[in-house]
Structure 1
């Protein structure tokens, strides 16, 4: 049984800049996953980013929909990972804005 988490991250960057920053920062995603991500597969379809994240022996599916004033994140937690839905949702709300920081590749 899967447990879904949904979070909205407000921003004032506009859709194009928000999408660009997410694309530039998605490589740092594994820094935010306990134990690190084993494998991250990303795929853009328009302004939606689909992620398959291999971590702790499980694959977590996520979708980020980039809008003009917010990013809507939906994460599907498989099996026992659903027990951690509360802490994961809290982490997304408090640290999710890291994806919208200036593109670190420009340094």
Structure 2
């Protein structure tokens, strides 16, 4: 396994509102994964969203940790998906910022 994609996105929403937005927008995050079927196995453990997604016949796993002023994502890309890691990281950061921007 290679190194995971790690992303830290600051926010000013407070933990509860940031979690609510991640919960509501998680499908948009999954849709960014190339070849994703759009469905994910996911469960919350406190303020940590643990998930797996099938993409291009492989399993992508990750954790999204919601903190008071930051949301941290760590996503493990297997095999061929590592090739798209840098572009994917940029798209995930952009989507995360959109979900967490103060409105």
- TM-score after normalising by structure 1: 0.82
Task: Please give the alpha-carbon distance, in whole angstroms, between the structure 2 residues aligned to 1:58 and 1:91.
Answer: 20
Measured at CA, do residues 95 and 24 of structure 1 come closer, stay the same or move farther in structure 2, by a change above 3 Å? closer
Task: Please give the alpha-carbon distance, in whole angstroms, between the structure 1 residues aligned to 2:82 and 2:16.
Answer: 33
1:43 touches 1:50 (CA, 8 Å); kept in 2? yes
Once the 2 structures are TM-superposed, how far is the Cα of residue 93 of structure 1 from its aligned partner?
1.7
Gap regions ≥5 residues in structure 2:
none
Task: Please give the alpha-carbon distance, in whole angstroms, between the structure 2 residues aligned to 1:33 and 1:52.
Answer: 11
Measured at CA, do residues 49 and 24 of structure 1 come closer, stay the same or move farther in structure 2, by a change above 3 Å? same
2:42 touches 2:51 (CA, 8 Å); kept in 1? yes
Task: Please give the alpha-carbon distance, in whole angstroms, between the structure 2 residues aligned to 1:76 and 1:44.
Answer: 18
Task: Please give the alpha-carbon distance, in whole angstroms, between the structure 1 residues aligned to 2:91 and 2:27.
Answer: 18
Once the 2 structures are TM-superposed, how far is the Cα of residue 2 of structure 1 from its aligned partner?
3.1
Aligned to 2:88: 88
| Cα shift readout 1:44-103 (whole Å, capped 9, x = no counterpart) | 00000011011111110010000000100000011121121111111112222244369x
Provide the alpha-carbon RMSD of the alignment: 1.9
Gap regions ≥5 residues in structure 1:
103-107
Once the 2 structures are TM-superposed, how far is the Cα of residue 38 of structure 1 from its aligned partner?
4.8
Once the 2 structures are TM-superposed, how far is the Cα of residue 25 of structure 1 from its aligned partner?
1.8
- TM-score after normalising by structure 2: 0.85
Q: Which runs of 4+ in 1 moved over 6 A?
A: none
Give the length in aligned residue pairs.
Answer: 102
